[in-house]
Amino acid sequence: MAVLQFFLVFMSFKIWALFIFLLFLHSINISRKAHYLYKMILPIIGYGDPILRKVGEPITKEHPNLAQIIADMYETMYNASGVGLAAPQVALPIRLFVIDTSPFGTDEDLSAEEQKQLANFKQTFINAQMILEDGEEWGFNEGCLSIPEVREDVYRNERITIEFYDEDFNKKTEVYDGLIARVIQHEYDHIEGILFTDKISSLKKRLIKKKLSNIMEGKTRPDYKMKFCAKKTSR
């Protein structure tokens, strides 16, 4: 009888332990889902807003809600089908941008090696400083999430050396080339208050003047949320 009682108590303990363990796993799952749902899709600032012309301020590791800002920027970039997004484009005048070049990983115009490299490149850049831009200049048709429906050929150096902190505030100095370098150069320009349209000829600037005016007035319909200079409203 005593053996039976011991067995029943033992089994009861195991059942309760299993129940508590399952509750623990469930709580972790809920927490992960809550964290995912907490990510926000932010409105992207349209051409003409003065914040796009500000030089970004350096930040510290203790910058308020930094991890959340980075997560929201990635979410906003993915929602807009972009490969890069800088903090000024979401109304934050700080030296921060995020990049994920994986969409280029399926571009059949690129070599298999380039596709693989681009498919696996994702990086957060904090307080970036361009050390060197070298190599031959080459042209590529660029666009910008802040300037929808406008694309122009832009010439940039093929290779860069850049110093930055990653999202864990580890300091790095890296050399990049090709499309990765170009995307970084484009986003780096944003934290310097420069847009890709600044790099095109005077003739091309005149040709796109009406398109830029329409963007400022909110007369454009991208499939992502934007905030326009003249309207000051979100779509």
CA distance 92 to 56: 8
Is 149 tagged catalytic?
A: no
Instruction: Tell me the C-alpha to C-alpha distance, in Å, between residue 68 and each of 36, 73, 98, 161, 205.
Output: 11, 8, 13, 28, 37
Q: Print the SS3 string covering 108-140.
A: CCCCHHHHHHHHCCEEEEEEEEEEEEEEEEEEE
Write the DSSP string, 49-62: -GGGGSPPBP--TT
- Note whether 167 and 70 are within 8 A (CB): yes
- Residue of 113, 114, 174, 187 with catalytic role: 187
Which one, of 192, 179, 69, lies nearest residue 128 by Cα? 192
Residues classed as catalytic = 187
